[in-house]
Structure 1
Amino acid sequence: MRRELDEYMSYDVGALCPDDWDLGQRLMLGGCDPLPRRRCLARASKLFRRPLPTNESLWAIPDDGNVRWSRYHCRSYRCLSARNPRRGYDRCVGCFDMDRERRRWVSGGNGNGSATTLADFRIDEVLAVKPGEVRVGLDVTVGTGSFAARMRESGVTVVTTAVNLGAPFAETVELRGLVALYATLGQRLPPFDNSMDMVHTAGVFDGWVDLQLLDFVLFDWDRVLRPGGLLWVDKFACARKDLDDYMYMFLQFRYKKHRWVVSFKSRDEVYLSALLEKPPRS
């Protein structure tokens, strides 16, 4: 890690930064987070074009020219299609298909072409739990900002955490006119204590996460949620044999259960979806 950090900090002051964002991300994922600041000029795509206006950008794939593709396997959004076995990433497959994405969290579709299950909560159902109270939130996910786009249509401002795991997730969120927080799971969240109306999470853990890491992450989410704020656990996937351990991690905070659903993903795996309300503490 020391060698990589020395390489990252080797640059000419005032000149263009090296094309090494992937090195910076490896450092972040390795625990060097936040990265030290540098006094060089960030590179942009040579083909950058004016972005679409907000009313068009929410559900449109950005222009290929607005992304620096040099560190990805793909060189275009078309290449990122879920139908391409050489797309270069395996998290959130289908997230760059806007026709699929815009069916999620609304009546009649979970986005993957199959019927919705009890574990698929709709945004209108969730917002009805706290009418008018959900104004700002955080989406901790692997994705392209579609949850934030849907929430914006409901008048809610959501910031999406994003890391570029083999594809331009962070750039895509922001080119859609949304706000991406480029941060890893190991980073303490920037919001102040008791400030968020909602924390939503989907697809970022999926049963692989170490229980100790999950514990620290959940305590940080609890810190930023205000009293009465909602924690939306959206189809957390894990092995059936591990379900009790993971359920304890969420239940330890003694949140009020508005919804709590366990459904089968496969013979040996399950989904846990929950809508939980943080109690007042003083």
Structure 2
Amino acid sequence: MGSVSLQIGDGTARFRRATLCSSALHLLMLSSVITTNLFAFYAFTSSPSSSSAAAHARNISLISENVALIVREIEASERRLHQIERELAGYDTFDPAKSSLPPDLKLFLARHPLPLGRDARSGITEMVSSVAHSCARSPAADLLARYMSYEPAAPCPLDDPFLPQKLVAKACEPLPRRRCLSHSTATAAAPRLPFPQSLWSPGTKNPGAGIYGLDKQLWIKPRRKSDILIDDVLALGRGGIRIGFDIGGGAGNFAARMAERNVTVVTSTLEVGGKPMNEFIAARGLFPLLLSPSQRFPFIDSVFDLVHTMNALDEGGAPALGQASRTEALEFLMFDIDRVLRPGGFFWLDNYLCAGDERKRMVTRLIERLAYKKLKWAVEEKAEASGTEKAQQLYLSALLQKPARG
């Protein structure tokens, strides 16, 4: 029993409520023990006479009732304290019985009995819907209520087409399924151009500029000393790179370059700035995946020959683990990357912008813990103006090979 701490920003917010409840419970238990002992001492040390035998029996009965009452109070206090701690941690706050929840959200959250009865192996008798507990926290709870407020079998609401994106960005993932008809956008309904022409002329509006738009020079011609080129990586792979995963891949330029070289790459991306990134990637004939880096990758172990990322090391911890710069947030992401990468496969960290030398050391130490072989390693320092001072930034590029573990 004790205080519950949540890491917020650069400091720690401590909830005194749990501490006070815990202290009160301890005092209650102490006073109960003292009171019970006093009653017992009085009952068993008093000299019973023939006239006081009934009184002595009543004292024993009173002690028993008092002990039973104290035990019930302690159990009730423990249950309440446990509930408070779970609420502070963000659990058990999604109550399907709440009248404010939309009907279809209640229906989705309701437990359903297994069609064949009790599972013999696990003992489970009901099916529980998979919705992240962070969906119950504000402001995600309000957004989720809007997301599930619709008329079944009718067109889905159009008040905010990027509502699913906002929920995913707040770690409300996976989202509930809906029973409404989605709206086809002009981009999705446009005729598809043949492949490979669609890779660089998809016939849809360019969703952005730079790494979020079309860039035919990336990974082909070096721009800085930390650049790693695609052809060099494929040469090191010796024909063994066939399927890859690009985390936070923007408009899918990396996947497009790999497709030209007969390598299939799945691109995870969010709708940056309200731009239809996933539709744009699909129009290019590539595979988009709407997924926040803070969630476990929906792939089986050891499936990819190559995992590539530019900026996901900073996004991987937020918002599910608080600050993205936390060591634990980086570890959760890196170990999941390691999980989906096959032994002998390559992890390509591409021009990752470290906010100082300490961040670079943190990433380096984690890579060394995983015992990856460093095939390429390049660091470029860049000083950029930050107000009246100079803020040091380091670009780190690395091509690493996963070891075969016993």
Which residue does 2:335 correspond to in 1? 219
Instruction: Select which of 265, 275, 282 maps to 2:382.
Output: 265
Within a 5 Å distance, the mapping from 1:191-270 to structure 2 comes to 191-205=299-313, 209-211=324-326, 212-242=328-358, 243-266=360-383, 268-270=392-394
- State the 1:94 CA deviation: 4.9
Instruction: Select which of 263, 267, 270 maps to 1:163.
Output: 270
Structure 2 CA distance, aligned partners of 1:169 and 1:141? Answer: 11
Output the amino acid matched with 2:243: V
Structure 2 CA distance, aligned partners of 1:196 and 1:141? Answer: 16
- State the 1:250 CA deviation: 2.6
Output the amino acid matched with 2:196: N
CA contact (8 A) 1:62 1:172 kept: no
What SS does the aligned partner of 1:235 have? strand
Structure 1 CA distance, aligned partners of 2:343 and 2:211? Answer: 35
Q: Return closer, same or farther for 1:81/1:172 CA change in 2, 3 Å cut-off.
A: closer
CA contact (8 A) 2:251 2:277 kept: yes
CA contact (8 A) 1:142 1:204 kept: no
Q: Return closer, same or farther for 1:94/1:184 CA change in 2, 3 Å cut-off.
A: closer
Greater Cα shift, 246-255 or 127-136: 246-255
Output the amino acid matched with 1:30: K
Structure 2 CA distance, aligned partners of 1:94 and 1:227? Answer: 30
Instruction: Select which of 28, 31, 35 maps to 2:168.
Output: 28
- State the 1:154 CA deviation: 1.0
Which residue does 1:87 correspond to in 2? none
Consecutive unaligned residues in structure 2, runs of 5 or more: 1-139, 316-322, 385-391
Which residue does 1:68 correspond to in 2? none
Output the amino acid matched with 1:63: T
Identity %: 40
Q: Return closer, same or farther for 1:94/1:218 CA change in 2, 3 Å cut-off.
A: closer
Greater Cα shift, 22-31 or 221-230: 22-31
- State the 1:142 CA deviation: 4.1
Within a 5 Å distance, the mapping from 1:89-168 to structure 2 comes to 93-96=210-213, 98=214, 101-106=215-220, 108-109=221-222, 116-166=223-273, 167-168=275-276
What SS does the aligned partner of 2:346 have? strand
CA contact (8 A) 1:139 1:159 kept: yes
Structure 2 CA distance, aligned partners of 1:237 and 1:95? Answer: 16
What SS does the aligned partner of 1:227 have? strand
Structure 1 CA distance, aligned partners of 2:400 and 2:285? Answer: 29
Structure 2 CA distance, aligned partners of 1:237 and 1:250? Answer: 16
Output the amino acid matched with 1:105: W
Structure 2 CA distance, aligned partners of 1:81 and 1:148? Answer: 17
Structure 1 CA distance, aligned partners of 2:262 and 2:211? Answer: 26
Structure 2 CA distance, aligned partners of 1:94 and 1:271? Answer: 16
Structure 2 CA distance, aligned partners of 1:266 and 1:142? Answer: 26
- State the 1:265 CA deviation: 2.7
- State the 1:238 CA deviation: 1.1
Equivalent pairs, count: 248
Q: Which has the higher helix share?
A: 2
Larger Rg: 2
- State the 1:17 CA deviation: 1.2
Q: Return closer, same or farther for 1:53/1:194 CA change in 2, 3 Å cut-off.
A: same
Structure 2 CA distance, aligned partners of 1:219 and 1:132? Answer: 26
Which residue does 1:190 correspond to in 2? 298
Output the amino acid matched with 2:284: R
CA contact (8 A) 1:206 1:237 kept: no
What SS does the aligned partner of 1:3 have? helix
Output the amino acid matched with 2:178: R
- State the 1:11 CA deviation: 1.0
Which residue does 1:63 correspond to in 2? 204
Output the amino acid matched with 2:180: C
Structure 2 CA distance, aligned partners of 1:63 and 1:200? Answer: 25
CA contact (8 A) 2:352 2:396 kept: yes
Output the amino acid matched with 2:224: T
What SS does the aligned partner of 2:366 have? helix
Query: What is the TM-score when the length of structure 1 is the normalising length?
Result: 0.82
- State the 1:128 CA deviation: 0.9
CA contact (8 A) 2:193 2:202 kept: no
Structure 2 CA distance, aligned partners of 1:176 and 1:142? Answer: 14
CA contact (8 A) 1:206 1:236 kept: no
Q: Which protein has greater RCO, CA pairs closer than 8 Å, 6+ apart?
A: 1
Greater Cα shift, 45-54 or 215-224: 45-54
Consecutive unaligned residues in structure 1, runs of 5 or more: 65-76, 83-92, 110-115
CA contact (8 A) 1:137 1:196 kept: yes
What SS does the aligned partner of 1:127 have? helix
Q: CA RMSD in A?
A: 1.9
